[in-house]
Amino acid sequence: MPTGRRYQEVAEAIRDLIRTEGLADGARMMPERALSDRLNVPRSLVREALILLEIEGVVEVRKGSGIYIRTSSPMPSTELRDDVGPFELLQARQLLEADIAEFAASKVTDADIQRMREALRMERADLESGSGNYQGDRQFHRLIAAATQNSVLIDVVEDLWRRRERSPMWAKLHSRIFETTYRQAWLADHQTILSALQNRDRGGARQAMWMHLGNVRSTLMTLSDVDDPAFDGHQFEPVTLKA
């Protein structure tokens, strides 16, 4: 029976693969790219599925080395049944917030622009403090929605951020990332969006938001990669690690 989340279906396919291949505890999984080819699904879905299996304790992730089996008899997690995959969430944000930014450019006021500048100052302070706080980031996106003067769009953006902040999947994704300078690039993206809004450039605002959330997605995909680049998954042979 379908789970309702594509990454959960891919996770089940990986569980089946573990069983049919007879992979023992400590065996190294084939890399994500090979799994993507074998299951004929996007790599982002494989990444989400493996994050789920990591949370469940089915696999162990070792940065720069790969993914290893922890148990050959995984049990599905009921706690994560309603959690949305982080890359699926980013795709939804890209589709929705690009249009919201375009609409906001036709409605934005000078007071809105000033509040957005304050949000970017908050975001810069968050970065300089190294606190890991995303309040300035969240506030900037919320203010763009607020500039549309449409309460439904404001609620949509708020809900997307709530899902992100409450998501065990999102937290696990970020636990793989030790680099933090990427957020400077996101702040620069925000400044580009703000410039387009200030110029009431609808197409520019839409394009800048689309590019920004695309950058977020590609950056997180790159920084959360755990595969050993020297490991050839197409010549995969499971190897049981010594205790």
- Looking at residues 18-44, what average pLDDT do you find? 88
Check residue 2 and give its pLDDT. Answer: 46
Q: From residue 126, how far is each of 119, 130, 162, 172 by CA, in Å?
A: 10, 6, 19, 21
Residue 6: is it exposed, middle or buried by C-beta count within 10 angstroms (0-12/13-18/19+)?
middle
Q: Which has more confidence, 242 or 164?
A: 164
What digits encode the pLDDT tens for the residues 212-222?
A: 999 999 988 88
Residue corresponding to tokens 């929705």: 96
For residue 216, the number of C-alpha atoms closer than 13 Å in the C-beta half-sphere is 22
Contact (CB, 8 A) for 208 and 193: yes
C-alpha to C-alpha distances, 15 to 6, 8, 73, nearest whole angstrom: 14, 10, 8
H or E stretch at 40: none
Task: Answer whether 56's CB lies under 8 Å from 172's CB.
Answer: no
Answer yes or no: is pLDDT of 208 > 80: yes
Torsion, Cα 99 101 102 103, to 10 degrees, reads 90
Q: What is the pLDDT of residue 237?
A: 35
Retrieve residue 167's tokens. Answer: 């998501």
Residue owning tokens 């309702």: 4
Q: What is the pLDDT of residues 83-133, one digit of tens each?
A: 888 999 999 999 999 999 999 999 999 999 999 999 999 999 988 887 778
The half-sphere exposure of 38 on its side-chain side, counting CA atoms within 13 A, is 17
Q: Which residues make Cβ contacts (< 8 Å) with residue 157, sequence separation at least 6?
A: 96, 97, 100, 141, 142, 144, 145
Distance CA 224, CA 178 (A): 9
pLDDT of res. 243: 29
> Would you state the structure tokens that stand for residue 184, as one six-digit string?
């400077």
In the chain, what are the domains?
6-80+226-235 (1.10.10.10), 86-166+177-223 (1.20.120.530)
pLDDT band at 65 (very low <50, low <70, confident <90, very high): confident
Backbone conformation region of residue 183, classed left if phi is above 0, alpha if psi is from -120 to 50, else beta: alpha
- Tell me what pLDDT residue 151 has: 97
Q: What is the mean pLDDT of residues 33-45?
A: 91
* 63-72, 145-154, 225-234: which is most confident: 145-154
Distance of alpha carbon 177 from the chain centroid: 12
Query: Tokens 């999947």 appear where?
Result: 169
Instruction: Give the global pTM.
Output: 0.77
Instruction: Quote the mean pLDDT of the chain.
Output: 85
